[in-house]
């Protein structure tokens, strides 16, 4: 077994790229949140980074649980009641307080993304946005939001073909 590199446990500094706007003011478990529309307001200087984001139906949103305090390594999961480790749950009480949700992209207006399904409260800092690509994430050859003319997709298809 290899040892961790010296830099593996150094502090990491991150800055929000935007924040969440919605009607949720408290962090409570509510299945209805996945049907609600939220907005992500991106910093104006980052708007160019949204170029072609509408090529994707779904996105990963990484955010910071800014209102969460403390954590327990073992706890009861809210969605099924089972006892589990924090890394086997979606608890906001985590060592690094990072949240991840797959959302549906509804529309983009300048620096504002309108999304559905975000389980973060109003004012939550957003750390990153990444496209959800179903056939890569789920290894599903039937659906793919990227067109064949995309060079990255073509490279990916060539690699998959050689593996099979």
pLDDT tens digit sequence for 117-158:
998 989 999 999 999 998 888 775 554 444 434 444 444 444
Does some domain include residue 35?
yes
Question: Average pLDDT over the chain, rounded to whole?
Answer: 82
113 — phi, psi (to 5°)? -100, 130
Indicate whether 73 and 150 sit together in one domain.
Answer: no
pLDDT over threshold 60, residue 5: yes
Alpha-carbon distance 144 to 23, whole Å? 32
Residues in the chain: 164
Domain shared by 60 and 114, yes or no? yes
Q: Is the domain of 43 the same as that of 82?
A: yes
- Say if 114 falls within a structural domain: yes
Tens digits of residue pLDDT in 56-97? 999 999 999 988 888 889 988 887 889 999 999 888 888 889
Residue 19 lies in domain: 13-132
- On whether residue 33 sits in a domain, the answer given is yes
Same domain, 41 and 99: yes
pLDDT recorded at residue 68: 83
Number of structural domains, the chain?
Answer: 2
Q: Does the pLDDT value for residue 3 go beyond 90?
A: no
């Amino acid at each position: 077994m290899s040892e961790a590199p010296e830099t593996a446990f150094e502090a990491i500094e991150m800055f929000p790229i935007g924040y969440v706007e919605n009607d949720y003011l408290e962090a409570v478990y509510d299945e209805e949140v996945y049907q609600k529309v939220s907005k992500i307001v991106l910093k104006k200087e980052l708007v160019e980074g949204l170029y072609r984001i509408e090529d994707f139906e779904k996105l990963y949103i990484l955010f910071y649980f800014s209102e969460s305090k403390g954590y327990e390594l073992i706890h009861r999961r809210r969605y099924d009641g089972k006892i589990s480790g924090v890394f086997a749950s979606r608890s906001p009480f985590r060592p690094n307080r990072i949240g991840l949700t797959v959302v549906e992209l509804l529309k983009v207006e300048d620096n504002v993304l309108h999304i559905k399904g975000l389980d973060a409260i109003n004012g939550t800092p957003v750390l990153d946005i990444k496209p959800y690509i179903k056939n890569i994430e789920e290894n599903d050859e039937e659906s793919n939001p990227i067109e064949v003319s995309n060079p990255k997709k073509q490279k990916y298809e060539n690699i998959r073909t050689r593996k099979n």
